[in-house]
């Protein structure tokens, strides 16, 4: 064994002698100076001097050798680094060690890329990615854009071979494999007679990649033009000349296979003849033996010739012999998998080495694309030992035809006459599976399931093959699990159904229960698990039961049945659904008078927080509410869960489980925009569901994500249900959908509802504010400073009754102020230690009964602080108002005023001004009116360009929007235009964001539809909108401009934002739709998960009717202007 010192000395072959052992410093100095060879020498020496850091120094030496274009030496240095890392004991292989090894593969990939070995480079980066290196995936992605790198590599070397030729050959490794790229390589190689065999092979692959009639002519022309010799040139006589005898031999061999006889007489002339070849890896050398390399290349070219000859002789009916030839080609290609070529000059020898490597990579790419498609490769290996339905049919058909020869001819025509009978190949493949059913093991039969070119009949046949091989329960469980991994849950359940449950072992019953649960067969799964639990109450079965039983049985019933099972009872209460059910039962047994009306006013219990996987809940429920369990999401009667997931394999479905029972299920849709570089699968799920009658209080909600292979992920939340007047609230909110007794799917039912029309000239409040309660249960100064705000309230609402709720000490002050119609007091003591005000449960009930009977329309807390805000809930008013919107999301009108002191940044405005500002905000919401600016005249020249007469009335339709998700389809605008023109006899000016959306006008709208294709000036645009009879548009800026100029506006409002917030003001209507997920805030259409029903379900007739009704209310809009 030689020492490391003698090793690196022999590598570099240096005659230099340096004194001292500070090799690392000298290496760094040489590296910084760009003296790469000297740096490589000293880094190699440093590896000998510091064995503990040897791997790092060998990598540095390889990097320096790479920079000096000593590629072979660089590879050797990297291999020594790999050896040094390999010598590290298992116990010392830390995260740093793994990172260093991954970086080594990245550096190896850089070396291969720099030297033009692009296919091997991809393998190195792939290895780095598997080791966890973030550089691996990035470099793999960059390989798709390496044409420039190929050019650089080709031009960097010098020699007597043109860079163009080298580039043409290298391009076969990076570009998509097509006939033209392969022919370019063949043409480049044909310049050198010594490379005729490789040129023929590239040309043969080009023909095999495209076997159309046009491609045959191209191939013959190409062969003649470049004088290619060998098997390729012998085809110049044209295809089909040797067809008959070859076909007879082919069918005879296949008939032997079908008869279950030997197929050994099939020619083995294509078997590559070579010895064992050393595969390339980091710690193994290059394939430097030229004779061995040429032998391998010869075997590869012969295998291509064999496939080519078979395909040329039989262009229409591939067969068993072709499949055998495929196998020979694959076997010849494997020894060349790791071939790496370092070309420092463009010599004929270097070009041939690169061509051998490129040819092998092209062969592997071609096999991956064409092998299975040509007819289920290597049928001689698929000996399956079963008889099933296709086997019986095969024997009967064989008897009818009289011979296996005729039977194979029939199968062959089915396989390769697929253009006439699309299902023929699928049926024939299934028959072939039965025909060769002799000797597959279960594991080999399971491998059939991975062939992704099988059709549905072939898959059924393959499953039957595997099923018949699974004779024992253990084998059946194995097969069922394999089917489950491939997403075939129904078939896996069928396998297990073959066993009598009375005698089946427990593992089989458990597996059957898990598959049944994944398929949504909850009752079957529960019965199986309970049967197993009675036999052997394991922890796993107990936990599965606790999660599953609520799907088929109420939780109180479950707890009653298992009351005597302490282990089950204890485990069940780890699940939120059981905990919450127990709390609700306890609350129901309490005296109603002891239940708190406002949970914020009593001490809180600890919040039970959910766990997070790669799951983000984007929308769920109608806001949040502060409870004694923390702030919880509030469920509405019809609600939604919109969730974004990020995972490695993706999820099939999301189930919404409320208190353990599934109430909704939906499939996911892929997210692509913004995730192009992500290695994960990103999906959006949007499930709509009816909550049903539930007891007010906390409830358990689980989002259950099902994987295709039977696995799952979950996300648990605690949600809140309360008693609100949802019917009344639905009159003003498009996010509230009421339940229905209909059995239709909720999506179908909501789609069948009519769209909503709302008056654009709106106020926030529904009805008059006849009774108002003002709360200021604070100290004397607080109350006094609130009186200016109360006076302002009286001025804004002079006809309203205004009552006050104050602390006992301010009762006389409030009553004597003359500002209130009635005054009430509440003892709401302040605890200095806790700095909190509390109200006993008994006092809550007394105050609530007194206030709620007065039917207040609005309750206002004028305190800028937080302590008295919960008192508003006791009033049971239709609307509530106060400060601190983030802290109290349940407030209907929330406001904050912040004026900062320049020195300490504390509040600087008078304490009396903040309550006045709140009253002003309430007045704006209740009494605000739209502002209109004068109309901009329509430029006469622009009017004439549009073809409009002076004074002629017209409609303007604007189909654009900032985002595609807000654009109502253009064909619907055209339909509304037809209806508007017919009903009102006015032309329609259509504004398009992109004129290419409508290349030409529909024939029936050629005269009355004016399409504005150019970009008008703003003055022209403003004048056009100002003077239109009616404007129709999406939720975008032009509708607001038209409304500002006083034009009647009909807007089509997609529900990403509330129409009350972003609908236009002034004269007009807003057309929108009620959906549970209204107000989602999405920007991209793919983020919806439902296909934008809030927009696409708006019907043209509804919009046209809205225009008609609006114009009937404003007939002057249709009169011609003077």
Instruction: Say how far apart CA 244 and CA 263 lie, in whole Å.
Output: 21
Domain residue limits, the chain: 4-149, 156-242+276-373, 610-724, 771-927, 940-1118
Question: What is the reported pLDDT for 16?
Answer: 37
Band (153; pLDDT cuts 50, 70, 90)? low
771-927 shares the fold of 610-724: no
Question: Burial level of 532, CB count in 10 A (0-12/13-18/19+)?
Answer: buried
Question: What is the reported pLDDT for 608?
Answer: 36
Sheet holding 1068-1072, edge to edge: 756-759, 1068-1072, 1049-1052, 1030-1034, 955-958, 988-991, 1009-1012
Other beta carbons less than 10 A from residue 1077's beta carbon:
26
Q: What is the mean pLDDT of residues 473-481?
A: 81
Asked if pLDDT for residue 145 goes beyond 70, the answer is: no
Question: What is the reported pLDDT for 150?
Answer: 53
Instruction: Say how far apart CA 360 and CA 341 lie, in whole Å.
Output: 13
Instruction: Say how far apart CA 734 and CA 736 lie, in whole Å.
Output: 6
CA 78, chain centre distance (Å) = 39
Q: Residue 925 in contact with residue 1006, Cβ under 8 Å?
A: no
DSSP one-letter string for 74-101: HHHHHHHHHHHHHTS-GGG--HHHHHHH
Q: Quick one: tokens of 204?
A: 């043969």
Question: What is the reported pLDDT for 600?
Answer: 58
Q: Residue 1059 in contact with residue 756, Cβ under 8 Å?
A: no
Asked if pLDDT for residue 438 goes beyond 60, the answer is: no
249 or 508: whose pLDDT is higher?
508
**Exposure b/e, 722-760, CB count within 10 A at least 16 = b:** eeeebeebbeebbbbbeeeeeeeebbebbeeeebbbbeb
Q: Residue 251 in contact with residue 405, Cβ under 8 Å?
A: yes
Asked if pLDDT for residue 384 goes beyond 60, the answer is: no
Asked if pLDDT for residue 694 goes beyond 90, the answer is: no
Asked if pLDDT for residue 92 goes beyond 80, the answer is: no
Instruction: Say how far apart CA 312 and CA 323 lie, in whole Å.
Output: 14
Half-sphere exposure of 76 (CA within 13 A, CB side): 12
Q: Quick one: tokens of 279?
A: 């595969």
pLDDT digits (tens, 9 = 90+) for 859-875: 999 998 888 888 998 99
Instruction: Say how far apart CA 109 and CA 121 lie, in whole Å.
Output: 5
Instruction: Say how far apart CA 751 and CA 745 lie, in whole Å.
Output: 10
Q: What is the mean pLDDT of residues 524-544?
A: 88
Band (427; pLDDT cuts 50, 70, 90)? low
Superfamily of domain 771-927 in the CATH hierarchy: Glycogen Phosphorylase B; (3.40.50.2000)
From the candidate CATH numbers 3.40.50.2300, 3.40.50.800, 1.25.40.10, 2.60.40.1220, the one assigned to the domain spanning 4-149: 1.25.40.10
Other beta carbons less than 10 A from residue 248's beta carbon:
11
Question: Burial level of 166, CB count in 10 A (0-12/13-18/19+)?
Answer: buried
Question: What is the reported pLDDT for 433?
Answer: 60
Quick one: three-class SS letters along 370-417? HCHHHCCCCHHHCCCCCCCHHHHHHHHHHHHHCCHHHHHHHHHHHHHC
Instruction: Say how far apart CA 415 and CA 423 lie, in whole Å.
Output: 9
| Residue 936 neighbours by CB under 8 Å, 6+ apart | 1019, 1022, 1023, 1026, 1045
Band (979; pLDDT cuts 50, 70, 90)? very high
Question: What is the reported pLDDT for 297?
Answer: 78
pLDDT digits (tens, 9 = 90+) for 180-224: 788 888 888 877 777 777 888 888 777 777 655 566 666 666 766
pLDDT digits (tens, 9 = 90+) for 304-361: 777 766 665 544 444 445 556 667 777 777 777 656 666 656 667 777 777 877 787 7
Band (915; pLDDT cuts 50, 70, 90)? very high
Band (931; pLDDT cuts 50, 70, 90)? confident
Helix (H, G, I), strand (E, B) or coil at 281: coil
Quick one: three-class SS letters along 532-573? HHHHCCCHHHHHHHHHHHHHCCCHHHHHHHCCCCHHHHHHHC
DSSP letter at 737 equals B
Instruction: Say how far apart CA 448 and CA 32 lie, in whole Å.
Output: 57
Of 437-451, 535-549, 749-763, the poorest mean pLDDT is in 437-451
Asked if pLDDT for residue 545 goes beyond 50, the answer is: yes
Band (1121; pLDDT cuts 50, 70, 90)? low
Average pLDDT, the chain: 77
| Residue 549 neighbours by CB under 8 Å, 6+ apart | 526, 558, 660
For tokens 């780095």, name the residue.
128
Question: What is the reported pLDDT for 18?
Answer: 39
pLDDT digits (tens, 9 = 90+) for 227-277: 664 433 333 333 333 332 233 333 333 333 443 322 232 233 223 333 322
Class of domain 940-1118: alpha beta
Which of 420-424, 659-663, 821-825 has maximum average pLDDT?
821-825
Instruction: Say how far apart CA 578 and CA 550 lie, in whole Å.
Output: 9
The neighbouring-strand residues paired with 1056 are: none
User: Helix %, strand %, coil % for the chain, to 5?
Assistant: 50, 10, 35
Instruction: Say how far apart CA 314 and CA 246 lie, in whole Å.
Output: 8
42 or 474: whose pLDDT is higher?
42
Question: What is the reported pLDDT for 316?
Answer: 43
Instruction: Say how far apart CA 419 and CA 456 lie, in whole Å.
Output: 18
Which of 58-62, 299-303, 594-598, 970-974 has maximum average pLDDT?
970-974
Instruction: Say how far apart CA 338 and CA 557 lie, in whole Å.
Output: 65
Asked if pLDDT for residue 465 goes beyond 70, the answer is: no
Superfamily of domain 610-724 in the CATH hierarchy: Immunoglobulins (2.60.40.10)
Asked if pLDDT for residue 974 goes beyond 90, the answer is: yes
DSSP one-letter string for 819-871: --SEEEE----EETTTTEE---HHHHHHHHHHHHTT--SEEEE--SSSTTTTH
Asked if pLDDT for residue 603 goes beyond 90, the answer is: no
Asked if pLDDT for residue 4 goes beyond 50, the answer is: no
Other beta carbons less than 10 A from residue 376's beta carbon:
22
Band (801; pLDDT cuts 50, 70, 90)? very high
pLDDT digits (tens, 9 = 90+) for 355-369: 877 787 778 777 766
Asked if pLDDT for residue 378 goes beyond 50, the answer is: no
Question: What is the reported pLDDT for 332?
Answer: 75
- The counts of H helices and E strands in the chain are 45, 25
Band (70; pLDDT cuts 50, 70, 90)? confident
Question: What is the reported pLDDT for 991?
Answer: 93
Residue ranges of alpha helices (H) inside 210-279 are 213-226, 231-234, 243-258
Question: What is the reported pLDDT for 504?
Answer: 84
Question: What is the reported pLDDT for 447?
Answer: 66
The greatest distance separating any two alpha carbons of the chain, rounded to the nearest whole angstrom, comes to 119
């Amino acid at each position: 064994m030689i020492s490391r010192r003698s090793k690196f000395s022999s590598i570099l072959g240096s005659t230099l002698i340096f004194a001292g052992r500070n090799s690392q410093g000298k290496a760094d100095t040489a590296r910084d100076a760009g003296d790469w060879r000297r740096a490589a020498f000293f880094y190699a020496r440093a590896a000998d001097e510091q064995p503990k850091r040897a791997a790092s120094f060998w990598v540095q030496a390889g990097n320096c050798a790479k920079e000096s274009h000593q590629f072979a030496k660089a590879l050797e240095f990297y291999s020594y680094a790999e050896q040094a890392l390999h010598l590290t004991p298992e116990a010392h292989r830390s995260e740093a060690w793994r990172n260093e090894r991954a970086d080594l593969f990245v550096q190896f990939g850089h070396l291969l890329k720099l030297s033009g070995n692009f296919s091997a480079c991809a393998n190195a980066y792939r290895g780095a990615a598997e080791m966890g290196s973030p550089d691996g995936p990035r470099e793999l992605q960059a390989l798709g854009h390496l044409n420039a790198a190929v050019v650089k590599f080709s031009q960097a070397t010098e020699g007597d071979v043109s860079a163009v030729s080298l580039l043409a050959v290298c391009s076969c490794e990076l570009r998509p494999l097509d006939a033209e790229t392969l022919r370019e390589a063949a043409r480049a190689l044909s310049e050198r007679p010594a490379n005729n065999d490789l040129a023929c092979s590239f040309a043969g692959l080009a023909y095999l990649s495209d076997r159309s009639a046009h491609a045959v002519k191209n191939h013959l022309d190409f062969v003649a033009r470049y004088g290619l010799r060998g098997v390729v040139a012998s085809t110049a006589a044209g295809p089909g000349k040797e067809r008959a005898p070859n076909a007879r031999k082919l069918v005879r061999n296949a008939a032997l296979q079908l008869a279950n006889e030997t197929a050994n007489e099939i020619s083995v002339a294509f078997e590559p003849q070579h010895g064992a070849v050393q595969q390339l890896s980091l710690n193994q050398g290059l394939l430097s033996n030229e004779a061995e390399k040429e032998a391998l290349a010869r075997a590869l070219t012969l295998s291509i010739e064999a496939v080519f000859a078979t395909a040329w002789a039989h262009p229409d009916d591939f067969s068993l012999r072709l499949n055998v030839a495929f196998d020979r080609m694959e076997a010849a290609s494997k020894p060349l998998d790791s071939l790496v070529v370092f070309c420092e000059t463009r010599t004929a020898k270097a070009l041939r080495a690169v061509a051998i490597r490129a040819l092998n990579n092209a062969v592997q790419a071609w096999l991956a694309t064409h092998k299975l498609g040509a007819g289920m490769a290597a049928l001689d290996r698929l000996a399956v030992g079963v008889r099933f339905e296709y086997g019986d049919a095969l024997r009967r058909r064989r008897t009818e035809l009289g011979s296996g020869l005729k039977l194979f001819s029939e199968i062959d025509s089915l396989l390769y006459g697929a253009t006439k009978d699309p299902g023929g190949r699928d049926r024939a493949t299934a028959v072939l599976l039965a025909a060769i059913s002799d000797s597959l093991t279960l594991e080999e039969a399971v491998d059939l399931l991975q062939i992704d070119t099988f059709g549905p009949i072939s898959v059924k046949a393959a499953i039957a093959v595997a099923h018949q091989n699974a004779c024992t329960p253990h084998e059946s469980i194995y097969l069922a699990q394999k089917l489950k991994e491939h997403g075939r849950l129904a078939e896996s359940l069928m396998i297990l159904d073959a066993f009598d449950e009375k005698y089946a072992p427990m593992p089989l019953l458990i597996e059957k229960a898990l598959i049944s649960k994944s398929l949504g067969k909850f009752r079957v799964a529960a019965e199986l698990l309970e049967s197993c639990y009675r036999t052997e109450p394991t922890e796993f079965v107990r936990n599965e039961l606790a999660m599953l039983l609520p799907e088929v049985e109420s939780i109180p019933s479950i707890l009653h049945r298992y009351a005597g099972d302490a282990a089950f009872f204890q485990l069940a209460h780890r699940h939120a659904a059981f905990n919450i059910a127990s709390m609700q039962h306890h609350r129901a047994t309490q005296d109603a008078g002891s239940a708190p009306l406002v949970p914020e006013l009593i001490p809180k219990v600890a919040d039970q927080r959910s766990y997070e996987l790669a799951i983000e809940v984007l929308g769920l429920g109608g806001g949040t509410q502060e409870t004694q369990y923390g702030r919880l999401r509030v469920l509405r009667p019809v609600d939604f869960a919109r969730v974004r997931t990020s995972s490695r394999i993706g999820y099939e479905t999301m189930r919404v489980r409320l208190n353990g029972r599934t109430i909704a299920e939906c499939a996911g849709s892929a997210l692509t925009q913004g995730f192009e570089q992500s290695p994960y699968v990103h999906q959006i799920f949007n499930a709509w569901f009816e909550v049903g009658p539930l007891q007010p209080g906390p409830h358990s909600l689980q989002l259950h994500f099902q994987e295709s292979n039977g696995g799952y992920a979950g996300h648990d939340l605690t949600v809140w249900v309360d008693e609100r007047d949802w019917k009344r609230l639905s009159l003003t909110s498009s996010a509230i959908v009421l339940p229905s007794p209909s059995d239709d799917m909720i999506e179908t039912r909501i789609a069948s509802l009519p769209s909503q029309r709302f008056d654009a000239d709106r106020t926030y409040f529904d009805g008059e504010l006849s009774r108002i309660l003002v709360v200021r249960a604070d100290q004397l100064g607080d109350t006094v400073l609130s009186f200016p705000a109360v006076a302002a309230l009286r001025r804004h609402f002079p006809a309203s009754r205004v009552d006050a709720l104050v602390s006992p000490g301010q009762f006389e002050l409030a009553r004597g102020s003359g500002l209130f119609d009635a005054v009430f007091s509440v003892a709401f003591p302040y605890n200095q230690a806790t700095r909190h005000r509390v109200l006993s449960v008994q006092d809550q009930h007394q105050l609530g009964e007194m206030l709620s009977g007065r039917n207040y329309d609005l309750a206002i807390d004028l305190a800028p602080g937080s302590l008295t805000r919960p008192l508003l809930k006791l009033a049971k008013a239709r609307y509530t108002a106060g400060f601190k919107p983030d802290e109290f999301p349940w407030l209907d009108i929330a406001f904050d005023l912040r004026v900062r002191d320049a020195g300490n940044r504390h509040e600087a405005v008078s304490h009396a001004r903040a309550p006045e500002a709140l009253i002003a905000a309430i007045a704006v919401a209740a009494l605000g009116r739209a502002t209109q600016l004068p109309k901009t005249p329509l430029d006469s020249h622009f009017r004439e360009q549009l073809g409009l007469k002076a004074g002629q009335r017209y409609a303007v339709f604007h189909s654009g929007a900032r985002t595609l998700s807000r654009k109502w389809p253009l064909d619907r605008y055209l339909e509304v235009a037809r209806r508007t023109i017919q009903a009102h006899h006015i032309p329609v000016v259509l504004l398009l964001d992109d004129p290419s959306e409508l290349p030409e006008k529909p024939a029936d709208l050629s005269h009355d539809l004016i399409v504005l294709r150019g970009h008008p000036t703003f003055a022209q645009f403003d004048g056009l909108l100002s003077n239109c009879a009616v404007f129709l548009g999406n939720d975008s800026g032009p509708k607001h401009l038209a409304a500002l100029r006083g034009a009647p506006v009909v807007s089509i409002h997609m529900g990403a934002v509330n129409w009350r917030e972003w609908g236009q003001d002034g004269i007009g209507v807003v057309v929108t739709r009620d959906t549970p997920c209204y107000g989602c805030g999405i920007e991209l259409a793919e983020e919806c998960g439902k296909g934008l029903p809030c927009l696409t379900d708006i019907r043209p007739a509804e919009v046209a009717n809205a225009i008609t009704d609006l114009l009937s209310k404003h007939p002057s809009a249709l009169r011609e202007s003077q």
